[in-house]
Amino acid sequence: MDLRNCPECGKLFVYVHRNLCPDCLKKDENDFERVREFINSNPKATIDEVSEGTEVPVKKILEYLKEGRLILQSNNVNIILKCEICGESILTGRICESCGKKLKRNFLGSDKRSMFVDEDMKGKIHLSKYSRDERRR
């Protein structure tokens, strides 16, 4: 059991999957629904207009977008979210699809080798005793 203090209200709660107490989580979900409904009803609204119309801070609206919980429609032209790598306009998240593919390709590597080390690398890293055929438990 993991006990934490809520970052919003300071109450002690049992952490399950979100770092908010049940009361603040319910308020956050209500805020999210108001923002989602407002944006869907007013696709030409700016982020400041959404904030005023829903009484939800701009920072929280941007968090919803960056978390991927809130996705803008292509007709939401006045709320501009930019890729954090290349600056291209995106509808949700932190990076565009193109940069995401590049990151994934670089992370996996071009040859997609296993994390288990070949014999020719023996002694260079602590996993060197594992071969490709052996699996850690």
Quick: pLDDT tens for 117-134: 555 555 555 554 555 555
pLDDT confidence of residue 137? 47
Could you tell me if residue 121 is inside a domain?
Answer: no
Could you tell me if residue 45 is inside a domain?
Answer: yes
Could you tell me if residue 103 is inside a domain?
Answer: no
- Phi, psi of 27, deg, nearest 5: -65, -40
Could you tell me if residue 79 is inside a domain?
Answer: yes
For residues 2-26, give the mean pLDDT.
Answer: 92
Quick: pLDDT tens for 30-64: 999 999 999 999 988 999 999 999 999 999 999 99
Quick: pLDDT tens for 90-118: 888 999 999 999 988 887 765 555 555 55
Could you tell me if residue 102 is inside a domain?
Answer: no
Torsion of CA 71, 74, 78, 79, to 10 degrees: 20
Could you tell me if residue 135 is inside a domain?
Answer: no
Quote the number of domains for the chain: 1
- Whether residue 86 contacts residue 99, with contact meaning beta carbons closer than 8 Å, is answered with yes
Could you tell me if residue 83 is inside a domain?
Answer: yes
Question: Cβ contacts of residue 78 below 8 Å, gap of 6+?
Answer: 44, 45, 46, 47, 49
Query: Can you tell me the distance from the alpha carbon of 113 to that of 60, in angstroms, rounded to the nearest whole number?
Result: 40
Could you tell me if residue 100 is inside a domain?
Answer: no
Question: Cβ contacts of residue 3 below 8 Å, gap of 6+?
Answer: 12, 13, 14, 15
What is the residue range of 80's domain? 22-95
Quick: pLDDT tens for 61-91: 999 999 988 888 887 777 888 899 999 988 8
pLDDT confidence of residue 24? 94
Query: Can you tell me the distance from the alpha carbon of 13 to that of 4, in angstroms, rounded to the nearest whole number?
Result: 6
pTM score, whole prediction:
0.68
